[in-house]
């Protein structure tokens, strides 16, 4: 804790607050990227499942057409 007070005393409160703000933005940026990635992964997995169902239905239709 004393080290923090020494930094504030030597560099000034403005610089310490600026570094803290940059760190907070850094953390928020990477948190946002992780959340967007996770959201898109879920979305793509759902779409892949829907495409597989669609392919199965198309294959059934093709099989019926070939039988006639």
Domain positions in the chain = 2-67
Global confidence as pTM: 0.50
16, 8 contact by CB (below 8 A):
yes
| Residue that is written with structure tokens 């992964």 in the block | 41
Q: What is the pLDDT of residue 25?
A: 94
- Give tens-digit pLDDT for 4-61: 788 778 888 888 888 889 999 999 999 999 999 899 998 999 999 999 999 999 999 9
Q: Which residue has the higher pLDDT, 3 or 4?
A: 3
Report how far residue 57's alpha carbon sits from residue 53's, in angstroms, rounded to the nearest whole number: 6
Q: What is the pLDDT of residue 60?
A: 94
Q: What is the pLDDT of residue 17?
A: 86
Q: What is the pLDDT of residue 3?
A: 85
């Amino acid at each position: 804790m004393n080290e923090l007070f020494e930094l504030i005393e030597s560099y000034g409160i403005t610089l310490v607050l600026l570094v803290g703000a940059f760190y907070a933005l850094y953390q928020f940026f990477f948190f946002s990227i992780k959340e967007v990635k996770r959201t898109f992964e879920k979305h793509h997995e759902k779409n892949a499942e829907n495409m597989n169902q669609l392919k199965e239905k198309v294959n059934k239709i093709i099989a019926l057409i070939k039988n006639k």
